[in-house]
Structure 1
Amino acid sequence: MLVRIVKMSFEPAKIPEFLDNFHQNKKAIRNFEGCQLLELYADKNQSNIYFTYSYWENDYNLENYRNSDLFKQVWAKTKPLFNDQPQAWSVDKIVTL
């Protein structure tokens, strides 16, 4: 299983716009072929930092999502809200207890 972790830093005044966009699209992202889990986290100490965790069956499914119209639409609305470069990691899940 592939886990995709994305760290995003927003202009504080633009957080409601980000959250609205996320909530409007979360079900479509979660139901995209190969997506098994989608979670959104807020940093406890920096209120403008958010993380998404998504679980994908494989690289192929993640790349299909990243090349989809859905991703392009969501990202086009999200990208202008950042106050720093987003960071993303694709990692292999090794152990769950």
Structure 2
Amino acid sequence: MLVRIVRMTFQEDKLADFHAIFDNSKYLIRAFPGNRHLQLLSDPDRPDVRMTYSLWDSADALDDYRQSELFRSTWAATKVLFAERAIAFSGENLETVTQIDMA
């Protein structure tokens, strides 16, 4: 399983535009072959920052998405709204720890 996190800083007056883009594409991204999860996060200390957290079957599945028309069109519409360059990184899941009820 590959975890992908993308941190994006937006022009403050462009956040609504980004949310519209995300709302229009999130179901298509979640349905893309190899995608297992897509989540949108906000930075509690920076109202202009959003992050996507996604899970992919493999690096190849993520690469297939990144080569798709869906990604190209969504990213082209999104990146013009940035105040800073996006930061993206991937990692392979080595361990998952969940809270268990000890009662």
| TM tier relative to shorter chain | over 0.9
Deviation at 1:17, TM superposition (A): 0.1
Q: Describe the SS at the equivalent of 1:47.
A: strand
Unaligned residue ranges in structure 2 (runs of 5+): 98-103
User: How well do the aligned residues superpose, as a CA RMSD in angstroms?
Assistant: 0.5
Q: What CA distance in whole angstroms lies between the structure 2 residues aligned with 1:67 and 1:53?
A: 19
1:3 and 2:34 correspond: no
In structure 1, runs of 5+ residues without a counterpart are none
Q: What is the CA distance between 1:37 and its match in structure 2?
A: 0.3
Q: Which residue of 1 aligns with 2:60?
A: 60
Aligned-residue sequence identity (percent) comes to 39
CA distance in 2, matches of 1:95, 1:27: 27
Q: CA deviation at 1:96?
A: 1.3
Instruction: Please show how residues 1-97 of structure 1 align to structure 2 within 5 Å.
Output: 1-97=1-97
Give the deviation of 1:95 after TM superposition: 1.4
* Letter matched to residue 62 of structure 1: L
Measured in 1, the distance between the counterparts of 2:94 and 2:9 equals 28
Q: In the TM superposition, what is the alpha-carbon distance from 1:57 to its structure 2 partner?
A: 0.2
- Between the aligned partners of 1:76 and 1:46, the Cα distance in structure 2 is 23
Tell me the matched-pair count. 97
In structure 2, C-alpha distance between the alignment counterparts of 1:94 and 1:51, rounded to whole Å: 22
Q: TM-score, normalised by structure 2?
A: 0.93
| In structure 1, distance between residues paired with 2:43 and 2:58 | 27
Q: Give me the TM-score of the superposition, normalised by structure 1.
A: 0.98
Whole-Å separation in 1 of the counterparts to 2:48 and 2:39: 17
Moved over 6 A (4+): none
